[in-house]
Chain A
Amino acid sequence: MTKSYEEINERIKKGKAVVVTAEEMISVVKDRGVRAAAREVDVVTTGTFGPMCSSGAFINVGHTRPKMKIRHATIGGVPVFGGLAAVDFYIGATEVAEDDPLNRVFPGEFRYGGGHLIEDLIAGRRLRLVARAYGTDCYPRRELDTEITIKDLNEAVLVNPRNAYQNYNVAVNAHSSRPIYTYMGVLVPNMANANYCSAGQLSPLLNDPHYRTIGIGTRIFLGGAVGYVYWHGTQHDPTTARNERGVPTGGAGTIAVVGDMKKMSTEFIRGASLRGYGVSLAVGIGIPIPVLDMEMARYTAVSDRDITAPVIDYSRAYPEARQETLGQVSYAELRSGRIDLKGTEVKTGSLSSYPKAKRIAETLKGWIEAGSFALSPPAELLPQADSSHAFKPMKPPRRSRRKKP
């Protein structure tokens, strides 16, 4: 037995749809079986909340009088990219404040950057915009120093080229004798801690491992508002090795997402400072997955025990781009607080918030139950595992030829 999007949306409209979170779906399938779950459940909601570096926002600040084609600008002290039109900018989440000491005093604190700027805009805070231009006949103004809030902006659109990684590495420090400061957090020598960053069983793409329903045009929860998947994410890698359930055993699929920042909430969009590394943006994403048939019921019942992640040494293998892993561990083990790595017990830390992921899945469930959120079938699927789509490294740079003496 199968269900169509139209049937599910009809039930949502009538307030009759059966919606469960991905966490609840595990016990539904365990208790009632796949067949009954596929029949009874219409939608499974997922959620994830964690630092997602490849994020940012397009904003339009409106025209000044006289007009100005802004070339260089900072907002809240953070350089924003103005290389488009006159008053459009892209705020990159990992851009750091202009006067940030970076890692000159190691490890740097990176207290403010693009991620924090996006959070401050959403919070409605007043921010200083300083801009310069070279002046043209149609855009004569050359300097600007003013204050803006999100209300003053014509548009503020979150546009994240790579979010919601389907599975991810577990990071350890196996070789350095000092703590190392990474985007996976602080890693203590001798593999004293192992850090992971995934919502596991609640994570969107892990509940639709072959991207059957999550595709271009999928309506989602983004930062507390409605958003959309607009493309596959950069570095999307559908050909990653998979286990018998079809779940990738390492980082694999990614999505690019878009949504109206003016409707978002700082509960689900937060600037992040990663010591010694830089600035990022913690993004909250929730995706509804229609239980079209038994296969989707089986996929959405995935539990932390069925998902494993590779343990990678961030002191050597990762920076040197070597394909070496120290083993696979399950999210059930990771969430227990301790994993076993070659006979040694290692404490685990998370950068992804499970309570927030759960709140997102529950909020989305509430929206669908209230009839205010319909499911959209993908206009086009993401590149699939059997496609030729690959995530490849850069070609080795050409060596500069040495001059003979």
Chain B
Amino acid sequence: MFTEKLLMHFPRELVQQPILSVVTREFDITFNIISARITENEEGVMKVELRGKRQDVQAATRYIREKGVTVRSLSKFIRIDKDLCTDCGACVVHCPTAALYCDEGRAVVFDKKKCIACELCRTACPFHAVVVAHIEEAERV
């Protein structure tokens, strides 16, 4: 099973279209919506995890993009600045997916593959070590 966490930006004219449900029917994948909201300019912003065979997930992603949705990899949004991190572990307890954890030496480790960019760690970090990339900086996939 291949999973990919994505951030999708639906332009205003696409907000009313059932793109994700079409994708699940056409490409034999399942999805899990991490969060979804409508912005002030009536765009849709959705964090989604797609699951399925690798080629199906990739084909689905291509289809979504061709429809006019901007798709970016979610795992690249959050970065831990190791120069600022003191390894206190204040973030670890708030991470809902265990992407942040302590190793045997109590140092904080970040597994970005598990990250859903919820930013709870950013709120908990006393040292500004959680860096959230601007949407423009994140890699398009």
CA distance A50 to B87 in the complex (A): 10
Q: Is A335 an interface residue (CB 8 A)?
A: yes
What residue in chain A is nearest B91 (Cβ atoms)?
Answer: A349
Q: Are A282 and B123 closer than 8 Å at their CB atoms?
A: no
Residue in A275, A347, A353 whose CB lies within 8 Å of B87: A353
Q: Is A193 an interface residue (CB 8 A)?
A: yes
Q: Is A352 an interface residue (CB 8 A)?
A: yes
Q: Please provide the chain A residues from 350 to 397 with a CB less than 8 Å away from any CB of chain B in the complex.
A: 350-356, 358
Kindly provide the distance from the CB of B2 to the nearest chain A CB, expressed in whole angstroms. Answer: 30
What residue in chain A is nearest B93 (Cβ atoms)?
Answer: A349
Residues on the B chain within 8 Å of A273, using CB: 126-128
Q: Are A355 and B107 closer than 8 Å at their CB atoms?
A: yes
Residue in B106, B107, B126 whose CB lies within 8 Å of A282: B126
Q: Are A355 and B128 closer than 8 Å at their CB atoms?
A: no
What residue in chain B is nearest A276 (Cβ atoms)?
Answer: B123
Q: Is A19 an interface residue (CB 8 A)?
A: no
Q: Is B11 an interface residue (CB 8 A)?
A: no
What residue in chain B is nearest A181 (Cβ atoms)?
Answer: B123
Q: Is A249 an interface residue (CB 8 A)?
A: no
CA distance A107 to B124 in the complex (A): 11
Q: Is A272 an interface residue (CB 8 A)?
A: yes
Residue in B94, B102, B126 whose CB lies within 8 Å of A274: B126
What residue in chain A is nearest B105 (Cβ atoms)?
Answer: A355
Secondary structure class of chain A's binding surface, majority of residues:
strand
Q: Is B20 an interface residue (CB 8 A)?
A: no
**Which of B87, B91, B126 gathers most chain A CB within 10 Å?**
B126
Q: Is B52 an interface residue (CB 8 A)?
A: no
Residue in B87, B88, B94 whose CB lies within 8 Å of A186: B94
Q: Are B86 and A49 closer than 8 Å at their CB atoms?
A: yes
**Which of B93, B94, B124, B127 gathers most chain A CB within 10 Å?**
B93
Residues on the A chain within 8 Å of B93, using CB: 193, 195, 347-349
What residue in chain B is nearest A277 (Cβ atoms)?
Answer: B126
Q: Are B106 and A50 closer than 8 Å at their CB atoms?
A: no
Residue in A185, A275, A282 whose CB lies within 8 Å of B86: A282
CA distance A351 to B126 in the complex (A): 9
CA distance A270 to B107 in the complex (A): 17
Q: How many residues of A contact B (CB 8 A)?
A: 31
Q: Is B92 an interface residue (CB 8 A)?
A: yes
CA distance A111 to B89 in the complex (A): 19
Q: Are B102 and A337 closer than 8 Å at their CB atoms?
A: yes
Q: Is B138 an interface residue (CB 8 A)?
A: no
Q: Is B90 an interface residue (CB 8 A)?
A: yes
Q: Please provide the chain A residues from 331 to 357 with a CB less than 8 Å away from any CB of chain B in the complex.
A: 335, 337, 347-356
Residues on the B chain within 8 Å of A337, using CB: 92, 102
Kindly provide the distance from the CB of B133 to the nearest chain A CB, expressed in whole angstroms. Answer: 18
Q: Are A275 and B88 closer than 8 Å at their CB atoms?
A: no
CA distance A347 to B95 in the complex (A): 11
Binary per-residue interface labels of chain A (147-161) against chain B in the complex, 1 for a CB within 8 Å, 0 otherwise: 000000000000000
Q: Are B106 and A185 closer than 8 Å at their CB atoms?
A: no
Kindly provide the distance from the CB of B91 to the nearest chain A CB, expressed in whole angstroms. Answer: 8
Q: Is A188 an interface residue (CB 8 A)?
A: yes
Given A282-B126, A351-B126, A356-B87: 11 more A-B contacts, CB < 8 Å? A49-B88, A107-B123, A185-B124, A186-B94, A186-B124, A337-B102, A347-B93, A353-B86, A354-B87, A355-B106, A355-B107
Which 9 A-B pairs give the minimum distances between C-beta atoms? Answer: A349-B93, A272-B126, A354-B106, A355-B87, A353-B88, A350-B89, A193-B93, A353-B86, A353-B87
Interchain residue pairs with CB less than 8 A apart (12): A50-B88, A51-B126, A111-B128, A185-B90, A185-B124, A185-B126, A186-B94, A271-B127, A348-B93, A349-B89, A354-B87, A358-B105
